[in-house]
Amino acid sequence: MKNTDVRTRMAPSPTGDMHVGSMGVLLKNYAFAKKNGGKFILRIEDTDKEREVPGAIGRIQDIITAYGLDWDEGPGKGGAYGPYIQSERMQLYTDMANDLIKKGKAYYCTCSRERLETLRDSQRAAKVPPKYDKFCRDRQDEVSREIAAGKDYVIRLKTPDNQDVTFTDLLRGKITFNTASIDDQVLLKSDGYPTYHLAVVVDDHSMNISHIMRGEEWISSTPKHVLLYHAFEWDMPVFAHMPIYLNPDGKGKMSKRKGTVSAQSFLDRGYLPEALLNFFMILGWAHPEEKEILTLDEYIQHFDPKDVSSKSVVFDLKKLDWINGMYIRQLSLSELETKIAPFVPNTFPTEMVSGVLPLIHERLEKLSDFEELTTFFIGDIEIPTDLLLKKSTASDVAQQLEQTITGLEESTDWTIESIETVIRSLQEKHNWKRNQYFMMIRVATTGKKATPPLFETMQLIGKPGILERLRTALQNCN
């Protein structure tokens, strides 16, 4: 195989918003195709009509684009192997299922839902794994007559009895299973739709997919797919099942129960797409020099699915926050201003945003931190008295506050320098303890112990606001 023949794919079902884990897998498919000068295909697997969510197909495309990624062939793009939406490929699945019937590899089944339920109940009672009992396999003449008379039917694969079947997973090596544990799976349902198993194999083959990289949760389906490749006598693609993400607390598969998990929800929480991609890159894979901050190009250059660890990985939010902070700091102030706009609360004066950003740029881990880091710039603040009086007494602090209010009132300018001059000269003149006095002013004007640089902050809050806050603090001393 030439490198350029590398064709990877992502095959989401439009059953809801894309999970972050899927975005992580998508990135790997994308990167490996790019690395080899191959193609990355997006295919929509919408054959389970009951679970389809209206609008989900559009949202899948939007979220991939929002993460700054793209596909070479697929919906909206076309390509030589289209259509790329399974519901538009129905004839192919029917033809393929019929082909297997002709080859004697599949059969019609008219078992009713009731019969299958009774069978399942008795298997459950006998504590044996539920499995179709192949009732229709050897009565095909009768079945044909039932179908001619209008009975519903499905097409099932004739799974060979008691055979070892093997496939290789790039991350795990050889995996062998025995067909005794595998059902005569349904290929075509009674509504005419293919099952996922049939459609995925037919499409991966007919779209010339060379590498199937998907989440580990599909590993148990792969034996069924392998049997289909055998039945069709098709070459198998390379399989690589990617580790699943565990909840940030390390417990269990990352799931909705422990917070939102959609790829969109992370953008809504103020993570930058580039930072998220960087985070996905290093979850379960390491750059040769163990670089943790790397560009998409660097990743594409080095990524190989066989180097991914097969162990599940914890979705470490602290790490993600750290990476996101690094990416935010790489933004210019004007880029930051654009990106942060959706996170600026309506109550925050628009004209203050550009002044505030340089003061909080270093401290933002997520764009959504804006609100928490800036509420004290506007409106009423709480001034904790214990912090205000720390390392001093109420009367000394009151005196400091009175002097500061007078000094600032008298100052005609309101620049960072003029404020600094007033405060520093008062401290020197009265020989106040510097740390105590500066901290007290910080608490009185912001309500907080830790803020951006004091004089810049005071300048931005404005003279009337600062004087009002100092007066309120003074009242707190009495």
Nearer residue to ligand GLU within complex by CB, 13 or 392: 13
Q: How is residue 33 written in tokens?
A: 């195709």
Task: Specify whether the backbone of 303 is left (phi greater than 0), alpha (psi in -120 to 50) or beta.
Answer: beta
Nearer residue to ligand GLU within complex by CB, 212 or 336: 212
CB of 355 to ligand GLU, least distance (A): 47
Q: How is residue 207 written in tokens?
A: 């779209």
Radius of gyration of the chain (CA): 32
**Stretch of residues binding ligand GLU (CB under 6 A), selected from 11-19, 26-34, 241-249, 469-477:** 11-19
CB of 167 to ligand GLU, least distance (A): 14
Strands 106-109 and 186-188 come out as unpaired
Residues 142 and 77: their CA atoms lie apart, in Å, by 47
CB of 265 to ligand GLU, least distance (A): 18
Do residues 174 and 168 lie in contact, with contact meaning Cβ atoms separated by under 8 Å? yes
Do residues 419 and 408 lie in contact, with contact meaning Cβ atoms separated by under 8 Å? yes
Q: What is the 3-state secondary structure (H, E, C) of 15-29?
A: CCCCEHHHHHHHHHH
Restricted to residues 178-217, the positions that interact with ligand GLU (CB under 6 A) are 200, 214
**Stretch of residues binding ligand GLU (CB under 6 A), selected from 9-17, 125-133, 145-153, 440-448:** 9-17
Residues 373 and 451: their CA atoms lie apart, in Å, by 8
Nearer residue to ligand GLU within complex by CB, 13 or 195: 13
Among 8, 13, 392, 446, binds ligand GLU (CB under 6 A): 13
DSSP three-state, residue 233: coil
CA atoms in the 13 A half-sphere facing the CB of 327 = 23
Phi, psi of 237 (to 5 degrees): -75, 175
CB of 164 to ligand GLU, least distance (A): 23
Burial class (CB in 10 A: 0-12, 13-18, 19+), 395: exposed
Q: Fill in the per-residue mask, 16 to 45: x = in contact with ligand GLU (CB under 6 A), - = not in contact.
A: -----------------------------x
CB of 83 to ligand GLU, least distance (A): 16
Restricted to residues 97-156, the positions that interact with ligand GLU (CB under 6 A) are none
Residues 266 and 19: their CA atoms lie apart, in Å, by 10
Site size toward ligand GLU, by CB under 6 A: 7
Nearer residue to ligand GLU within complex by CB, 232 or 322: 232
**Stretch of residues binding ligand GLU (CB under 6 A), selected from 8-16, 179-187, 278-286, 465-473:** 8-16
Among 81, 167, 218, 438, binds ligand GLU (CB under 6 A): 218
Nearer residue to ligand GLU within complex by CB, 11 or 106: 11
CA distances from 376 to 24, 252, 465 (A): 38, 39, 11
Catalytic residues: 256
CA distances from 399 to 240, 257, 338 (A): 71, 54, 44
Phi, psi of 168 (to 5 degrees): -110, 130
Among 7, 8, 12, 67, binds ligand GLU (CB under 6 A): 12
Nearer residue to ligand GLU within complex by CB, 12 or 24: 12
**Amino acid symbol at 64:** I
Nearer residue to ligand GLU within complex by CB, 224 or 442: 224
CB of 188 to ligand GLU, least distance (A): 17
CB of 19 to ligand GLU, least distance (A): 9
**Stretch of residues binding ligand GLU (CB under 6 A), selected from 10-18, 255-263, 329-337, 346-354:** 10-18
Sole residue written with tokens 């054959």:
47
Nearer residue to ligand GLU within complex by CB, 218 or 234: 218
CA neighbor of 342 nearest in space, from 260, 267, 259? 267
**Stretch of residues binding ligand GLU (CB under 6 A), selected from 6-14, 230-238, 426-434, 470-478:** 6-14
Longest dimension (CA), the chain: 108
Do residues 40 and 30 lie in contact, with contact meaning Cβ atoms separated by under 8 Å? yes
Do residues 67 and 263 lie in contact, with contact meaning Cβ atoms separated by under 8 Å? yes
Q: How is residue 286 written in tokens?
A: 């390491």
CB of 63 to ligand GLU, least distance (A): 14
Q: Fill in the per-residue mask, 43 to 82: x = in contact with ligand GLU (CB under 6 A), - = not in contact.
A: --x-------------------------------------
The string over 308-326, giving b where at least 16 C-beta atoms fall within 10 Å of a residue's C-beta and e elsewhere, is beeebbbbbeeebbebbbe
Among 6, 7, 8, 11, binds ligand GLU (CB under 6 A): 11
Nearer residue to ligand GLU within complex by CB, 218 or 322: 218
**Stretch of residues binding ligand GLU (CB under 6 A), selected from 5-13, 52-60, 134-142, 320-328:** 5-13
Q: How is residue 457 written in tokens?
A: 């902050």
CB of 22 to ligand GLU, least distance (A): 7
Judged by the rule CB under 6 A, the positions of this chain that interact with ligand GLU are 11-13, 45, 200, 214, 218
